[in-house]
A = this chain, B = another copy of it.
Amino acid sequence: MQRTLSSMEYTVDEESIALISRALAHPVRVRILKLLAGETCCFTGELTGLIPMAQSTISQHLKALLDAGLIQGQIDPPKVKYCINADHWLLAQELFMGFFGQGAADGCDCD
């Protein structure tokens, strides 16, 4: 995410929405989240069976979701369990609700 040289400052919410959106910006990550949200839990190994991508690639996508705080992992050697990070999930939900809930209601004379 390249930034301009000029000092452009964003609010925490703006940054948060952008950060979470980046995590959701690839359909396979949306798919993974759906799988994790549906099932109680999941191993990485099971995902490799469900998603036709290299194991390393899936691991990268999981890392992206981890970095965004949308999921969490728990080591259960030699496997790793991944699941939705409920707290952050709720925060993200509220964040997007607030964002999409704003404006666009009072019409626009472009129509």
Contacts and interface: CB of A to CB of B under 8 A. Distances in A.
A53 B10 CA distance: 13
Interface residues of A, number: 59
Count of chain copies:
2
A83 B108 contact: yes
Contacts of A108: 40-42, 83-84, 86
A108 B14 CA distance: 29
Contact of A4 (B53, B81, B107): B53
Interface of A: 1, 4, 6-8, 10, 14-15, 17-18, 21-31, 33-34, 36-38, 40-42, 51-53, 57, 72-74, 81-84, 86, 89-90, 92-93, 96-97, 99-110
